[in-house]
Amino acid sequence: MKFTWFNLMPWPYLPDDFREKNRSVWVDIDQALFDPEKSHEVYNTYMDLLEYAGTVGFDGIGVNEHHQNGYGIMPSPNIISAGLARRTKDTALVVLGNSIALYNPPVRVAEEFAMLDCISGGRLVAGFPVGTSMDTNYCYGQIPSLTREKYQEAHDLIIKAWTERKPFAFNGRYTKLRYVNIWPRPIQQPHPPIHIPGGGSVETYDFCIDNTYSYSYLSFSGYIRAQALMKGYWDRVAERGAPDTSPYRAGFAQTICVAESDEEAERLYSEHVLYFYNRCLHVYAGFADAPGYRTIKTIQSGALSQYAPPRAGYASLTWKDLIDGGHVIAGSPETVRQRMEDLIKSLHVGNIFCLMHVGNMPKEKCMYSTKLFAEKVLPKLRDMFPDYADDNRFWCKPLAQQVSAGRLPSDRDAAAAVSRVLA
């Protein structure tokens, strides 16, 4: 199993009456709610927490890309990852990911991911999302019904830029480049492992299967509601005659909170979980799914956009609803272990993106929950798929010898070395 500690980086200061006074947490969220000075501490705390998670036993630490979004103040995950690369060792940097249709030209992604891979010593796991409709269409202006074509072209360009050893010309519809010749290129060969976040479209299933990419379902509605979608994926894996059904072909995001007991979990985390589900997911329905963004096939499959609010709205959900419905896995280490085991088996997933910082959770509680999961839950789940223990196709392959930050000599030693050269 591979466990990645994930932080969406929510803005923790959305007011109590946020839902009543605002139509959306995303796209046209009120500028007045963001306080740049407060963000200084928020960003640094969130990066500290990611670094902390890298020291307690998680396989990776994860970041993602959102724009104009109150629950994700991370328009550039690469900036965050660059900071993390310098302050962590061994842990994978899971950037899930860069919305490749939004970068102009997309070789920018090939370059920045290569830089991250080089700086981190081959610890990058690269994600290529299409991006949500809010991000891609409404914030970044991509034409909905052309987004996927542009995404596909960007993907082809990036892979070629990573693997071709001579300058080449790329005559795409959306990008035309006479000389593609990225410097640097990634350490991992032929390129870093690729994870593709998807929301149930058959085209994305096939894309992952055909290219040996891991399919990630990044849902906030939990593993019980994800059964149908993941079954669709595994059925497709069988249908397409993939050579194996390795669980590492799939990943799943799950909100997790651990305490000493179930009751303590509710007492500690309830307000933060409700903050997330009631305020952070308050997306105006008109932004959820620009017409043409999803393919006709996907709509016909009956999958509704996960950002389309449930009929009754999230506000009516209580802690109990969220626990019973599996949106959130919370409780004592034993409760969490049982439910995680259920999740892993029922979805057949080898990559878990653990959403352990939730809503406006303060750092102390987040550390407490993280530590309990790492020490009392994670070790018991570690070897759930012994048959696939050697499957390393979907994870990073770091250099055996890595350098770390802060290795300069003292000023005195430097001066002495210079003197020796001059002597």
Partner 1 sequence: MELKTIATHHVPVRYIEGGQGEPLVFLHSAGGITPADPFLNALAEKFHVYAPLVPGYGDSEECAEIRDMLDFTLHTWDVVGALGLKDPILVGHSMGGMIAAEMAAVCPREVSRLALIAPAGLWLDDHPVADVFTKLPYEMPALLFHDEAAGAARLTAGLKMDDPKFLQNYLVTNARQLGMAGRLLFPIPERGLSERLYRVTAKTVLVWGDSDKVVSPVYAHEFKRLIAGSQLVSIPEAGHAVPQEKTKETVAAIQRLS
Rounded to the nearest whole angstrom, what is the least distance from the CB of residue 417 to partner 1 in the complex?
A: 57
Site for partner 1 in 244-283 (CB under 8 A): none
Rounded to the nearest whole angstrom, what is the least distance from the CB of residue 198 to partner 1 in the complex?
A: 18
Cα angle for residues 87, 90, 92 (degrees, 5° grid): 90
- Tokens (6 digits) for 381: 């789940």
Rounded to the nearest whole angstrom, what is the least distance from the CB of residue 68 to partner 1 in the complex?
A: 13
- Tokens (6 digits) for 337: 């272990």
Q: Would you say 137 or 270 has its CB closer to partner 1? A: 137
DSSP 1-69: -EEEEE-----TT--TTHHHH-S-SBSS--GGG--HHHHHHHHHHHHHHHHHHTTTT-SEEEE---SSB
> Of the listed pieces 288-296, 336-344, 365-373, 399-407, which binds partner 1 according to CB under 8 A?
288-296
Rounded to the nearest whole angstrom, what is the least distance from the CB of residue 240 to partner 1 in the complex?
A: 23
Q: Rounded to whole angstroms, how far apart are CA atoms 46 and 288?
A: 27
Which of 146, 238, 389, 405 touches partner 1 by CB under 8 A?
Answer: 146
Which of 151, 284, 373, 395 touches partner 1 by CB under 8 A?
Answer: 284
Query: Residues 401, 404, 410, 416: is their CA dihedral positive or negative?
Result: positive
Which of 56, 159, 177, 299 touches partner 1 by CB under 8 A?
Answer: 299
Which of 67, 155, 249, 294 touches partner 1 by CB under 8 A?
Answer: 294
> Of the listed pieces 153-161, 264-272, 285-293, 364-372, which binds partner 1 according to CB under 8 A?
285-293
Rounded to the nearest whole angstrom, what is the least distance from the CB of residue 199 to partner 1 in the complex?
A: 14
- Tokens (6 digits) for 240: 């397409």
Q: Rounded to whole angstroms, how far apart are CA atoms 421 and 423?
A: 6
When asked if residue 228 is in the footprint of partner 1 (CB under 8 A), the reply is no
Angle of helix 77-87 relative to helix 107-120, nearest 10 degrees, comes to 10
Residues 110 and 158 sit within 8 Å (Cβ to Cβ): yes
With CB under 8 A, what is the number of residues at the site for partner 1?
21
Contacts of 99 (CB under 8 A, 6+ apart): 65, 129, 130, 131, 135, 136, 140
Rounded to the nearest whole angstrom, what is the least distance from the CB of residue 263 to partner 1 in the complex?
A: 39
Q: Would you say 207 or 293 has its CB closer to partner 1? A: 293
Rounded to the nearest whole angstrom, what is the least distance from the CB of residue 85 to partner 1 in the complex?
A: 34
Q: Would you say 134 or 354 has its CB closer to partner 1? A: 134
Beta bridge partners of 3: 352
Which helix (H) or strand (E) segment holds residue 106: the answer is none
Q: Would you say 143 or 418 has its CB closer to partner 1? A: 143
When asked if residue 302 is in the footprint of partner 1 (CB under 8 A), the reply is yes
DSSP 199-243: SS-HHHHHHHHHHT-EEEE--SSHHHHTHHHHHHHHHHHHHTT-S
Which of 96, 130, 274, 290 touches partner 1 by CB under 8 A?
Answer: 290
Site for partner 1 in 106-145 (CB under 8 A): 137-138, 141, 143-145
284: alpha, beta or left, given left = phi > 0 and alpha = psi -120 to 50? beta
Which of 232, 292, 309, 325 touches partner 1 by CB under 8 A?
Answer: 292
Rounded to the nearest whole angstrom, what is the least distance from the CB of residue 99 to partner 1 in the complex?
A: 16
When asked if residue 285 is in the footprint of partner 1 (CB under 8 A), the reply is yes
Q: Would you say 275 or 287 has its CB closer to partner 1? A: 287
When asked if residue 201 is in the footprint of partner 1 (CB under 8 A), the reply is no
Question: Beta-strand (E) ranges in 293-397?
Answer: 328-331, 351-355
Which of 252, 287, 394, 395 touches partner 1 by CB under 8 A?
Answer: 287
Site residues (CB under 8 A) for partner 1? 137-138, 141, 143-146, 149, 284-287, 290-294, 296, 299-300, 302
